[in-house]
Amino acid sequence: MDALNIREHSATDEEVFLALGGDLIVNNAEQMQATLNPHLSAEKNLVLDLADIADIDTAGLQLLLSLEQLQSQHGKAFNVCGLTAAQADDFGALGVARLIVER
């Protein structure tokens, strides 16, 4: 199990693009929420690069869905990119492939 780390990839007037590393699991969900809260706003779309995420559990997926809902309430997009083929398949099987964008 790896600790979660987050770094800003880039930011524009329209979007914040963050790269995550480690594991997106129940043990790290609270840390992720606290770290991402400053980036959640009514002003910018949010994209998370998950290329360096080794493991995503149910709590991690629930957190991603809650981020989507918060962004949607402000009329802004939330997406993820950098998934492995297996992770992308899992997102599809769970009905959340809408979150995936290519970068």
Per-residue pLDDT tens over the stretch 51-93:
999 899 999 999 999 999 999 998 999 999 999 999 999 999 9
Total structural domains in the chain? 1
Per residue in 24-38, pLDDT (tens digit) is: 999 988 888 888 888
- Alpha-carbon distance of 85 to 68, in angstroms, equals 21
Cα of first residue to Cα of last residue in the chain, in angstroms, is 27
Q: What CA–CA distance (Å, rounded) separates 47 from 11? A: 10
For residues 1 and 4, which has the higher predicted lDDT (pLDDT)? 4
Range of the domain at 46: 5-99
Here the tokens at position 87 are: 């992770």
φ/ψ (deg, to 5) at 40: -85, 120
CATH at residue 24: 3.30.750.24
The verdict on pTM exceeding 0.75 is: yes
